[in-house]
Chain A
Amino acid sequence: MIQFIQEKLFLGLEDLVLKREIPPKSRVLFIHTGGLSSLFQYEEELVAFLKKNL
């Protein structure tokens, strides 16, 4: 089910602009929307990747 997309990350020209969108020292609120249980749906694949790459 899981698909590890190995293509090099390509974020495009737009991202070069966006990189500076949140300036240093900005106050940022990140909303955690949940979904912990889905981690366990992919646990074997995630562990295999982490063992190999980290």
Chain B
Amino acid sequence: MVNERIVNKINSFPRFSLIKNQTPIHSLENMSRKLNIDLKIKRDDLTGLAAGGNKTRKLEFLIGEALCKKAEIVLTAGWSHSNHALQTAAASGRAGLKSILFLKGTGAYRGSLFLDYLLGCEIKLFDVPGSSSLVPIMQKEAEKLKAIGEKPFVIPVGGSNDVGALGYVLGAIEIAGQCNKMEWQPDFIVFPTSSGGTHAGIFVGVKESLPNAKILGIGVGDNAEKLEKSVSDIVRNLNKLLAMSSFSEKNLKETFRFGYGFQNYGDIHPCVISLIAEFAQKEGIFLDPVYTGKAFFGVGRFSS
């Protein structure tokens, strides 16, 4: 069995357990009716770490690697609303590691930033154009820490590298198992794509476990060319890690959908706000304004 081989291979990597149960899949009856499709939702907002989210899957392997390397302090970067940063601080705390967050923003301590503060991590705020500007600052800090005998471990923006993406290969296999049990095979799997790790993991995992499903990664405002390259690089490295055969760049490129970022990452369009309110009122589930709100807006556009 291909899946069994991949799962065994993934299980050979260091892993720090953060997700205790499979996240649910259930129908969205009201939105299905509205869009005239058979719509279900995979609740990776219920992973059980901090406020939940996709980053938990990546952090199981990233924190696992940090512990394996005897790291004592974890560094990562993102916007001040970053769920990745929040989840990293929470996962680090659970693993007994300190954490430093390098965040774009100068705002008040509310939302994710408030929760970061509650988690007791060190927070460094910068007024920079985007999170990529924080990477050299974070690297420099890691060097400084090394020089004074500390053991830092740098997690990339979004936790997006080959090791982090292992979590979403398993995530896709989990989805396939649940769909088989429900006797419901998706024609499309839709998700937001930004730093690339989730997209890469799903691409590899779905190809192996749900080969008939078409995946659609909805860009939320990042530069399209850079994002495509980033996902392609992660898939290539992931295939090496898992000793898998090569992939088709053309097939990967076909999984991106841009045009729903509404100018830039972090910009919030009134259409998305209205959709978040409608989704909450119809389904009792909250989407976020930066990722899932925009991605779901894409679903409506594609199926209208």
Contacts and interface: CB of A to CB of B under 8 A. Distances in A.
B259 A31 contact: no
A3 B263 CA distance: 10
A38 B202 CA distance: 24
Interface residues of A, number: 43
Nearest to A49: B273
A33 B45 contact: yes
Interface string A25-51: 111111111111111111101100110
Contacts of A39: 111, 276, 286, 288-289
Interface in B135-174: none
Contacts, number: 200
A12 to B, nearest CB: 6
Interface residues of B, number: 78
A11 B302 CA distance: 12
A26 B289 contact: no
Interface in B91-115: 105, 107, 110-115
SS class of chain A's interface: helix, strand, loop or mixed?
mixed
Nearest to A46: B273
Interface stretch (B8-16, B48-56, B63-71, B228-236): B48-56
Contacts of B213: 29
B238 interface: no
A33 B192 contact: yes
12 contacts: A4-B270, A22-B303, A24-B37, A25-B36, A29-B188, A33-B192, A35-B51, A37-B114, A38-B83, A40-B111, A40-B112, A49-B273
Given A28-B187, A28-B189, A30-B39, 19 more contacts: A5-B268, A9-B269, A24-B303, A27-B184, A28-B190, A31-B202, A32-B292, A33-B53, A33-B295, A35-B51, A35-B81, A36-B288, A37-B50, A37-B83, A37-B114, A39-B111, A39-B276, A39-B289, A50-B277
